[in-house]
Structure 1
Amino acid sequence: MRVLITEPLSEPGLQVLREAADVDVRTGLSPEELMSAIGAYDALVVRSATQVTASLLEAGCRLRVVGRAGTGVDNIDVDAATRRGIVVVNAPAGNSNAVAEHTIALMLALARRIYPAVSSFKAGRWEKRTLQGFEIKDKTLGLVGLGRIGMLVASKSRGLEMRVIAHDPYVSPERAASSGVELASLEEVLSAADFVSVHTPLSPATRGMIGARELALLKPTAYLLNCARGGIVDEEALREALERGVLAGAALDVFEQEPATDNPLIGLPNVIATPHLGASTAEAQEHVALDVARSVVDVLAGRIPEGPVNLPYVPPKAVEFLQPYIDLATRLGSFFVQWRGGLLGRLELVYEGEICEYDTRVLTSAFLAGLLAPVSAGPVNLVNASQYADERGLVVSEARLGRGTRYGSLITARFAGTSEPMDISGALIQGEPHLVGLDGQRLDCVVQGCMLVDLHHDRPGIVGRMGQILGQADINIGFVQMSRVTRGGASIMILGLDECVPADLMPRFLEVPNVQRVRMVTLPPYNGHEDDAA
């Protein structure tokens, strides 16, 4: 596997990647050079400067994962990555404290007029009276966005004895109150705050959300801070408001276009500006490098990453439990479509037992990936499986039954729309993925390798006839699993084989009397069972 890194990454992160893959660090590539090179790589790691466009992702025919060493992913076309089944990971926690500290530093610099004081003193002036500041104790900080960084800023500000109010429609009042934060509408936050600090991601919904109308709500003595993403604040509206005295000043670390050396905001006397330094600490750079590197390695190894952007979020503590069930669900989906050969319009995933304590969306995605991959032209995986299902008109639902089962946890998929049973069930038995039910019948085998599956009327001699055909083709049987509902009724048989049956031999099995359907189901070997499927 090969990993391309296009922007500086701290050495600890590089070391993690080098232990798992061949790593090329090629900074300073032009868009054309990157487009030409990307087809040879399985993973791409960037910071904020590299633009990961839809056309670049299309050119990356081998790409499985794009890693963003940092939080914001507005330089990555996440929708295009999702369509192509490419996982996008970031490092949302690694630089959070650094950004929060930078926000506090800028707020204190505004209050105590640090920047003009330094400039004046270096110019040979001693202007104590004209550079008088104010204390932030008992002042009101208004936060727009109360995510990880917003919460850290709130905590640090509360330690400085500030009142903290916030607007975030996705945070519960209880969660905010537990951190000493009062929730309010955006208008209430803007009109009441002495400092307004922006901490939302950049998205179509948040682009330009602080514009002329919002700035007009600020007190003339208020200050605006943005250490989040350029584009959330309308820069032209802010410039006009600052020049007209609508607010007292601003501190900016991010800009719509970077580098922002020619941005007119920088030259205003009531603006403090830093060149996107929020995450620029030695500690933060090491943390984000390690976080994104570990997530990239996880994806390349087929594991759930800790920082998925376009996957259902799985808490780190749940990863160890769910990982083998993801493999099981994928195998069940693949088995089912190979056995049935077609898809119906409605599918229900039923989860029973301990597994219901976890978010099962990732398991549903895994089943869909296994189900759709054999019948889709493009790559299908956890990232884009739901999208492929929608495109095929497959209506998917989940049911979570907390009751216990004989297996501890059980996954069952049921298709609706036919009079006959169409279902498949699986469980982990001694840590191994087992098929335990198919079309209303009980079975038990490790779901891996080459399996000849047939539906027949329960009559004497069928096993012998099937075995005779295989023996004549010099194909050895590793195990036999049979099930029937009633004596003489419908019966399902699974033969685990040492090698798969060639296509030209398959019609011979249908010549056996009472055999109704025969399919060759092929799945990846499971560790420890490459030579023994049961």
Structure 2
Amino acid sequence: MTHKVLVSDPLAEAGLALLREAGLHVDVRTDLSPAQLIQTIPDYDALIIRSGTQVTADVIRAGQKLKVIARAGVGVDNIDIPAATEAGIIVANAPTGNVAAAAEHTIALLFALARHVAEAHRSMREGAWDRKAFMGVEIANKTLGLVGLGRVAGHVCRRAVGLGMNVLAYDPYVSQEYAQNMGAELVSLDDLLARSDFISLHLPLNEATRGLINAETLAKVKPGARLINTSRGGVIDERALLAALDSGQLAGAALDVFTQEPLPPDSPLRTHPRVVLTPHIGGSTTEAQFQVALDAAQQVIDVLHDRPARYAINAPLIPERDVEFIHPFIGLVERMGRFLQQFHPMQVERVELIVHGPLAEYDTKILQAAALRGLLAGVVEERVNVVNADLIAFRRGIIVSEYRQRHHYERYENMVTLAIRSGEQSVNVKGSVLHGEPFIVAVADRWVEFQPEGHYLVSWHEDRPGVIGALGTLLGENDINIAFMHVGRLTPRGVAIIVLKTDEPIPSTLLPQINAILGRDFEARIIDL
């Protein structure tokens, strides 16, 4: 089946070409109204947007086939992420592709404010020659305050240091050491506002940052400071900004983003003499648009081919350096969950994931999500994936625990144990990656070793002569070929487990005969992986 991708905002041709080369059907529809998007989206597996498309809860509800929404850029405040998460839709952005462009635009606006570039240009266009009206300030030895110290701010910081500026930074989510490595001094927000000659905002838009720059915070600003915003428009109270400009508390402001976009024609920001405006072009360079298009397209391809998105917003994120090592374990753990779901059906109350060996040093949250997906997919009515697996488990009252054993004495250097519990009942399965391939290596603490794919017959049985031969004879009489078989046991002639793989599916009508061979009250399970 060919996956369909809807591109609802302009996207560089390089991204479109990458999608088509991957065998995806691509429709570019940049003229859709909100109502038309809701009518159109049910046919598509993926949606690629920029800042123009609003992906509301109504759009997400209509997108019954959607697996991924990719934003060709950084900001995702035009996507209802909680609704996407609940629907099991991965939201991904392209946070690195336009970092240099946004940082350079920030520096450009800083220069424009310092030297009245826009006003002087406008004056010259009008036929004037007024050198005295545009007395500027130097930026060398001035203090730049960065509110937020993420990727873009980091690039701005390095450029500002190179221009001879002193840099302060406020970010409650970075360490002093991280800021120092950037060349910045980490301070409180109040301290930054009081000491900075130029203040540059680098914040996501969320409930904590909305209106952060308001009348109260602007009153704390060093008189005559200049404000730059290339992040999100909603972080500034624009009325308070205008008041600070009118009073002289701020000497100027340079804005690339606004609370309402496009900026209304009658906005007083358009005519204020101390304001420099650009129409949200921080990431608008040929190089940036090329890269964010490739990043968004590649993540769509990855998700539609059951690979993790590199920059997922609402799914566990794997650091780039760890992807090659962690990725095989994701598929392994999901198949371990599917195995347990079929081998020992129960009303699951607890799920335990134990990570053994050097693997325990990694961030393995995505393994927990993959295990839940394997356990719950197909047995709950919701679509389950790594995006919403935790949420679905929580709503169903399933307690999920993860443990790490960095030093262990098992047979395999890196191993994962997945256990499910209900009251006094419990069962576990162990897995490892061998030579790059996933293997289940133990079932209920009995050592076996097989790749979890294909058709299986799995059961407890009495370890006595004749059982395996009788099973082989029964399957042979029904033209079912055995690919391989493993027996795991703790003691001779005790209760053992048999894992038997077949080339053909085993019909459920054979189960009564199989169970008769096994003895006691054992019941075999037919498992498809």
Q: TM-score, normalised by structure 2?
A: 0.95
Q: Does 1:362 align with 2:369?
A: no
Tell me which residue corresponds to 2:460: 455
Tell me which residue corresponds to 1:305: 309
Please report how far the alpha carbon of residue 289 of structure 1 lies from its aligned counterpart in structure 2 after TM superposition.
Answer: 0.8
Tell me which residue corresponds to 2:525: 519
8 Å contact 1:113–1:133 — kept in the other structure?
Answer: yes
Question: Partners in 2 of 1:515 and 1:19 — Cα distance?
Answer: 55
| Structure 2 residues without counterparts, runs of 5 or longer | none
Structure 2 residue identity aligned to 1:349: L
Tell me which residue corresponds to 1:506: 511
| SS state at 1:280 partner | coil
Question: Partners in 2 of 1:289 and 1:420 — Cα distance?
Answer: 50
Q: Does 1:247 align with 2:253?
A: no
Question: Partners in 2 of 1:467 and 1:514 — Cα distance?
Answer: 19
8 Å contact 1:509–1:515 — kept in the other structure?
Answer: no
Q: Does 1:344 align with 2:348?
A: yes
Question: Partners in 2 of 1:462 and 1:419 — Cα distance?
Answer: 30
Question: Partners in 2 of 1:413 and 1:86 — Cα distance?
Answer: 25
Tell me which residue corresponds to 2:162: 159
Question: Partners in 1 of 2:457 and 2:185 — Cα distance?
Answer: 63
Tell me which residue corresponds to 2:11: 9
Question: Partners in 1 of 2:425 and 2:369 — Cα distance?
Answer: 25
Question: Partners in 2 of 1:232 and 1:279 — Cα distance?
Answer: 18
Provide, for residues 10-47 of structure 1, a one-character-per-residue CA deviation record: whole Å limited to 9, x for no partner: 11111111111111111111112211111111111000
Q: 1:487 to 1:419 in 2, by over 3 A?
A: farther
Pick from 455, 466, 470 the counterpart of residue 475 of structure 2. Answer: 470
Q: Once the two structures are aligned, what percentage of the paired residues are identical?
A: 47
Question: Partners in 1 of 2:495 and 2:212 — Cα distance?
Answer: 63
Structure 1 residue identity aligned to 2:4: R
Please report how far the alpha carbon of residue 420 of structure 1 lies from its aligned counterpart in structure 2 after TM superposition.
Answer: 6.1
Q: 1:111 to 1:352 in 2, by over 3 A?
A: same
Structure 2 residue identity aligned to 1:131: F
Structure 1 residue identity aligned to 2:452: V
| Structure 1 residues without counterparts, runs of 5 or longer | 524-534
Please report how far the alpha carbon of residue 288 of structure 1 lies from its aligned counterpart in structure 2 after TM superposition.
Answer: 0.7
Runs of 4+ in 1 over 6 A off after TM superposition: none
Tell me which residue corresponds to 1:526: none
**More off after superposition, 377-386 vs 161-170:** 377-386
Question: Partners in 1 of 2:495 and 2:242 — Cα distance?
Answer: 77
Tell me which residue corresponds to 2:47: 44
Q: Does 1:292 align with 2:318?
A: no
Tell me which residue corresponds to 1:414: 419
Structure 2 residue identity aligned to 1:399: Y
Provide, for residues 174-199 of structure 1, a one-character-per-residue CA deviation record: whole Å limited to 9, x for no partner: 00011111111111111111111110
Tell me which residue corresponds to 1:62: 65
Q: 1:486 to 1:418 in 2, by over 3 A?
A: farther
Question: Partners in 1 of 2:19 and 2:135 — Cα distance?
Answer: 51
8 Å contact 2:346–2:422 — kept in the other structure?
Answer: no
Q: How many residues align?
A: 523
Please report how far the alpha carbon of residue 6 of structure 1 lies from its aligned counterpart in structure 2 after TM superposition.
Answer: 0.8
Question: Partners in 2 of 1:514 and 1:51 — Cα distance?
Answer: 62
8 Å contact 1:454–1:515 — kept in the other structure?
Answer: no
8 Å contact 1:455–1:515 — kept in the other structure?
Answer: no
Please report how far the alpha carbon of residue 515 of structure 1 lies from its aligned counterpart in structure 2 after TM superposition.
Answer: 4.3
Pick from 97, 111, 114 the counterpart of residue 114 of structure 2. Answer: 111
Tell me which residue corresponds to 1:197: 200
Q: TM-score, normalised by structure 1?
A: 0.94
Please report how far the alpha carbon of residue 505 of structure 1 lies from its aligned counterpart in structure 2 after TM superposition.
Answer: 3.5
Please report how far the alpha carbon of residue 418 of structure 1 lies from its aligned counterpart in structure 2 after TM superposition.
Answer: 5.6
| SS state at 2:282 partner | coil
Pick from 64, 76, 79 the counterpart of residue 76 of structure 1. Answer: 79
Tell me which residue corresponds to 2:435: 430
8 Å contact 1:9–1:285 — kept in the other structure?
Answer: yes
Provide, for residues 215-261 of structure 1, a one-character-per-residue CA deviation record: whole Å limited to 9, x for no partner: 11112201111100110111122122222323212111001111114
Question: Partners in 2 of 1:274 and 1:314 — Cα distance?
Answer: 35
| SS state at 1:231 partner | helix
| SS state at 2:301 partner | helix
Tell me which residue corresponds to 2:209: 206
| SS state at 1:73 partner | coil
Q: 1:179 to 1:9 in 2, by over 3 A?
A: same
Please report how far the alpha carbon of residue 452 of structure 1 lies from its aligned counterpart in structure 2 after TM superposition.
Answer: 1.1
Question: Partners in 1 of 2:464 and 2:87 — Cα distance?
Answer: 48
| SS state at 1:516 partner | coil
Question: Partners in 2 of 1:357 and 1:383 — Cα distance?
Answer: 23
Please report how far the alpha carbon of residue 343 of structure 1 lies from its aligned counterpart in structure 2 after TM superposition.
Answer: 4.3
8 Å contact 1:194–1:222 — kept in the other structure?
Answer: yes
Question: Partners in 2 of 1:212 and 1:122 — Cα distance?
Answer: 35
